[in-house]
Amino acid sequence: MENMERPGSVPQILIVDDVDANLMILENIILEMGYTPRCAASAGEATKLIAESLPQLILLDVFMPEMDGYEFCERLKENPITRDIPIIFISAADSSEDKVRGFKLGAVDYIGKPFEVTEVTMRVKNHLKIYEMQQELELSNRRLHSVISSQARRIEEEQKNILYALATLTEGKDTDTRFHLDNVAYNCRLLAQSLQFSPEFSEEVSESFIDTIGVASRLHDIGKIQTPCNILAKPGPLEQKEMEIVKRHVEQGAAILERIYDSTPENSFLPMAIEIARYHHARWDGTGYPERLCRKDIPLSARITIVVDIFDTLLGERCYKKAYSKEESLKIIEEGSGTFFDPEIVDVFLKVQKQLHHEEG
């Protein structure tokens, strides 16, 4: 059924009755009211007229051949295009049971036959006014929702830009990691897209998940903004005390993002960003930090980021290590499958490794 715009602003009233005399009387009443009548002798004819142009109100007889008014009303109310059109039953069957049945099916009123012209006129006017007000309210709500959604998107975009700037500042503490965040974001999205085709992950990895991880994974190390530069830039291995300070960045990063999320709970990417920030140093066998989570207790977003983050770190030169070749890095990832990394994610990662992106500063 096609929802066609009615021409002009004059309301169209659909009259459905198999008795010609009733059609003529009701048609004249509607014309006298200044509205446009459209007449049908059956539910089938009425359906064709509705497909051409939606009426603003329907006057519907109950007893008709082929399909009675009750069944036709029920079908109209089941259709999302026609369910809001007000229906007034006009019938000789005007017992309490008949009226209750009509109202239960979604009719707005019930006029008994023989009907009075004044009664039909007043009830049609009243229900048209109510329908018009409902349509105006719905339009206002849609406009309001559009404005609110636009504002929410703008706020989220501004938050994203600020957080990216913070994350870039963190990255800037180590001159060897200039493109690390871009690499991680790109490869997390690519890996998530690939996992979508695996039966093991198809239900959890939606298009929304893919879009979100491309944003959220970029913030995985945002907590390092609170880590002293002399520790991050130290050549060679860290002392135990220094390592404990570095480990704090996962909780510090999650805390930064949680504070922002508390003020804007409608944000779409922060919940995943918090997961990744907190758990991107977890390990499949439970030997990671901060909470020694293991296996699938580690959120999927973090399990993806763990593989991608370490792979990109292996490929790049750091103040504490040389750069590994791609072959060496892939071998390390493969050897870590089932201990450091989710083995099913590693299997997919190795299949798409030729598509992975790495740019070094």
**Model confidence pLDDT, tens digit, residues 249-284:** 999 999 999 998 898 888 889 999 999 999 999 999
Residue 58 DSSP SS3? strand
Q: Give the residue, 311 or 167, on which the prediction is more confident.
A: 311
Fold that domain 12-143 belongs to in CATH: Rossmann fold (3.40.50)
**Residue pLDDT, tens place only, 290-316:** 999 999 999 999 999 999 999 999 998
Contact call for residues 58 and 12 (beta carbons, < 8 A) = no
Q: Give the residue, 95 or 247, on which the prediction is more confident.
A: 247
Neighbouring CB atoms inside 10 A of 306's CB total 25
pLDDT for 1: 43
pLDDT for 172: 56
CATH superfamily of 173-355: Hypothetical protein af1432 (1.10.3210.10)
**Residue pLDDT, tens place only, 74-84:** 999 999 999 99
Report percent pLDDT > 70 for the chain.
93
Distance in angstroms (rounded) separating the CA atoms of residues 75 and 60: 13
Q: Where are the domains of the chain?
A: 12-143, 173-355
The model's confidence at residue 174, banded by pLDDT at 50, 70 and 90, is low
State the pairing for strand pair 12-16/57-60.
parallel
**54 to 44, 81, 93, 331: CA distances (angstroms):** 15, 9, 27, 66
- The dihedral built from the CA positions of residue 220, 356, 312 and 351, taken in this order, carries a sign that is positive
DSSP state of 94: -
The model's confidence at residue 247, banded by pLDDT at 50, 70 and 90, is very high
| One fold for 12-143 and 173-355 | no
* Mean pLDDT over the full length of the chain: 89
Average pLDDT estimate for 157-180? 68
**Residue pLDDT, tens place only, 117-135:** 999 999 999 998 888 888 8
Average pLDDT estimate for 315-338? 92
pLDDT for 4: 42
Average pLDDT estimate for 198-226? 93
Contact call for residues 37 and 27 (beta carbons, < 8 A) = yes
